[in-house]
Structure 1
Amino acid sequence: MDLQVGKWQEFAIGRLFELQAGKINNASALEDGTDCEYFGAKWNDNAFMKPCKYNAKLVNKGNCIMFITDGQGSVGYALYKDDREFMGTINLVMGYSAFLNPVIGMFLATVICRERERYSFGRKWKKTLAQTVIKLPIQHTEDGTPVIDSQKTYSNEGYLPDWQFMEDYIQSLHSKPLTTRVTGEDVPELRTETWEGFCLGQVFDVQYGINMELNACKETTPDDPEGIAFVARTAENNGVSAYVKPVRGKIPQKAGTITCAGGGSVLSTFVQDRDFYSGRDLYLLHTKEPLSLKIKLFLVTIITIMAP
């Protein structure tokens, strides 16, 4: 299906949703249990933090969009939450509406996440969330004229979001079922109780990157033979935010280097599979001895778990 984004119109989030903040100010005060779930201000793991004991005074209803309005590295993300009750940090704001279901929620969360770039530099979102404007497909009559709601429920112009189009679009996406050869039968136990602590400086030679600015580079495509990956402080796409042309006087870092974000999406850590330039607040972790890719991926996983 063609998204036809040129025909989309603007809607303020506060007109689309009834907004309710999370109720948990101190997660350490939650009682242990398994009959409820606590969600925090993080993008990883769909914001899930830990199981906890159910408390009727502190739960939020499900079937909502969770807006991450504060939190290191994750402000600006939005996630769909299923219909189960849950507990959420005060840094989450939940959006409820009668039109919402899992399919429409997936569409909306994807569109809303496009706003995240505005909040990558320490800005917060809670005070301005209701005024944040996003574009959505709108309903049209058979002759192509926009349907106008005289009540102006969702916008001052009277446009109506096309919920059916959103459902149809998501359901039109096709992918092969995920498969894996990993059965878990031959995976050894981690036995983490026998592990010991190490500072990153004991395991790696830690070096600050070359602190390049993407807007000073000429962007290109991943299939450009001259293209060099530009690794930034993002948790997505293996940390690669763009591909750029070679810059005179700048020597790319070597493939196989581990990168770790010191700002933005803090502790987002990856093994780079091609030569790259490094952006702001990016650290390079060089192993003190040659290690295989599998060992590097193990170490990257451990470091990532440390992220808030």
Structure 2
Amino acid sequence: MTLDELFDVRNGVASSRLSISHHPAPNHVPYLRPAKTQQRTIAGWVPESEIGSDNIYPEGTLFVSTDGAGSHSYSYVSKFRFACNSNVAVLLPKRDMSVNEKLYYARCISMNRHKFSYGRKPKGDRLKQIELPTVPDWVNEKIFKNNFSSLSRLMSLSTEAIDITATDQTETFVSVSDLFNVFYGTNLELNALEPAENGTGVNFVSRSSKNNGISARVKLLPDISPIQGGVLTVAGGGSVLETFLQLEPFYSGFHLFYLVPRESMCAEELLYYASCIRENRFRYSYGRQANRTLGGLKIPARSSIPHWVFGSLAKIVEQVEIDLKT
């Protein structure tokens, strides 16, 4: 069946007549834009009074990017109330749909991306005529909801508030190299390695912005030891400054750095710093990489870490478990 048989399509509101704030504020809602990844879809926050209640959509609403050479056709399900700009289409189901069904259709819509381009955008009838399959039974089966063994691991990584007695308490911002030892990775070529099967081997981390930077699972080399987990990996080139926490041993590709904390840090601190480093991406491009300047980037001192960082993984796990039961 076609997309418009399943959904009513609503367009967003042009940004030209809105007051967009770069920070959350009372009586404001997130204002979404086209983006390749869901985390980048928030363009800012707009006053509810300006956007109007008819243009504010509830948590659990499916939306599609309809413009941008690198952003068009990507589809997501929102976890919060939002408004969106005119290059985003909101899809309102014509029948009751579970979150699992919406996620399934979001993935199906994104898989149609090859049919469009910057000159042939998924707008209007082109979007409405995308063909979508019937939802398979497994999408709503109980086994689908229970297939999240990693949740317990995330819960175990969550930490209560820590009394940080660091030497940087008088500083608000410090350099990356003040908190981490910066090392160059194993600098291997994936096509020269042998793929591992059945969960054996180790992860191969590249400069990718997807899948936690992991491109493959490869067999161990007899003469090269993998890098141990508990570190951050940072892309010096390619997807510059894409930063991830690696919990397991891994090999790495070209122009990939890894950061070892100078003092013991919990997983939530490391995830916080991964986000802080990633927020510096705007300083770089394909022609201006971070190979020489990574250590000098400014990030918050440990004494400046917000209190909400600690225990955040537990809160996320609890919310996911609630969502899976609905």
TM range (shorter): 0.5 to 0.7
Contact 1:93 1:126 in 2 (8 A): no
- Are 1:196 and 2:192 counterparts? no
Q: Secondary structure at the match of 1:29?
A: coil
1:244 Cα shift?
0.8
CA drift at 1:259 = 0.8
**Sequence identity (%):** 25
| Residues 16-27 of structure 1 aligned to structure 2 (within 5 Å) | 18=9, 20=11, 23-24=14-15
Contact 2:31 2:44 in 1 (8 A): yes
C-alpha separation in 1, matches of 2:118 and 2:183: 33
Give 2:102's match in structure 1, choosing from 99, 102, 105.
105
Q: Which residue of 1 aligns with 2:253?
A: 279
**Post-superposition shift, 1:16?**
7.2
Paired AA for residue 78 in structure 2? K
Deviation at 1:275, TM superposition (A): 2.9
1:66 aligned onto 2:56: no
Structure 2 match to 1:170: 140
Q: Distance in 1 between matches of 2:119 and 2:15?
A: 15
The answer to whether the 8 A contact 1:46-1:79 is kept is no
Paired position in structure 2 for 1:187? 161
- Aligned equivalents of 2:130, 2:110: Cα separation in 1: 20
Quote how far apart the aligned CAs of 1:153 are.
6.5
Aligned partner of 1:242 among 203, 212, 216: 216
Indicate if the aligned counterparts of 2:235 and 2:242 stay in contact, CA closer than 8 A.
yes
Q: Is 1:206 equivalent to 2:206 in the alignment?
A: no
Structure 2 length as normaliser, TM-score? 0.55
What is the aligned residue count?
260
Q: Which runs of 5+ in 1 are unaligned?
A: 1-10, 134-151
**What is the 5 A alignment of 1:20-39?**
20=11, 23-24=14-15, 29-30=20-21, 32-39=25-32
Amino acid at match of 2:77: Y
Letter in 2 for 1:105: K
| Stretch of structure 1 that moved more, 95-104 or 197-206 | 95-104
Q: Which amino acid letter does the alignment assign opposite residue 87 of structure 1?
A: A
User: Among residues 87, 97, 109, which one is paired with 2:83 in the alignment?
Assistant: 87
**Structure 1 CA distance for aligned equivalents of residues 219 and 70 of structure 2:** 28
Post-superposition offset of 1:79: 1.1
Q: Give the equivalent residue in structure 2 for 1:302.
A: 273
Q: Within 1, Cα distance between the matches of 2:245 and 2:130?
A: 45
Does residue 260 in structure 1 map to residue 256 in structure 2?
A: no
Per-residue deviation, residues 135-176 of structure 1 (Å, max 9, x unmatched): xxxxxxxxxxxxxxxxx9665xxxx7325x46x732533329
- In structure 1, C-alpha distance between the alignment counterparts of 2:51 and 2:250, rounded to whole Å: 50
Name the SS of the counterpart of 2:247 in structure 1.
Answer: coil
Residues 231-283 of structure 1, C-alpha deviation per residue, up to 9 Å, x if partnerless? 12345654323211245876533434321234666544334333321135522
Equivalent in 28, 49, 53 of residue 47 of structure 2: 53
Q: CA deviation at 1:306?
A: 4.9
Tell whether the 8 Å contact from 1:22 to 1:90 is kept in structure 2 after alignment.
yes
2:226 match: secondary structure: coil
The one-letter code sitting in structure 1 at the alignment partner of 2:14 is K
Whole-Å separation in 1 of the counterparts to 2:259 and 2:67: 28
Calculate the TM-score normalised by the size of structure 1: 0.58
CA 1:92–1:255: 2 relative to 1, 3 Å: same
